[in-house]
Copies of this chain bind each other. A is one copy, B any other.
């Protein structure tokens, strides 16, 4: 469905969001990677992408780390994260990979996939990172297995 990079990016963003919202504290890379079960250096690359797109905030130096501002918690959607990392192909392109697929010249699956794609866009676009962080806070969502 999503690339590994994107999976890590989403999980990291939600974890950062949860820590920002619940404790107002920044989290370091080591902490993030250990909490979401991802390779540290690779996660750093992914987070850099999100920082460049202003979807996550980073602060260098002692007591630094990653955080989500209140505005980011409120406005950044999952869709923005997915697009920043994986691009829009999965959210727009043809299911069979045809470059010219459209209503005028649809692939045999075109109309069958329209509602699926719509729903995917709806789900990704209508949930903010802050909202999902809330689920984790409430124990309604997990980012790694219970030990």
Contacts and interface: CB of A to CB of B under 8 A. Distances in A.
A108 interface: yes
A142 B99 contact: no
Contacts of A144: 98
Contacts of A63: none
A42 interface: no
Interface in A67-89: 78, 89
A61 to B, nearest CB: 31
A100 to B, nearest CB: 4
A29 B98 CA distance: 19
A120 B116 contact: yes
Interface in A123-145: 123, 127, 132-133, 135-136, 140-145
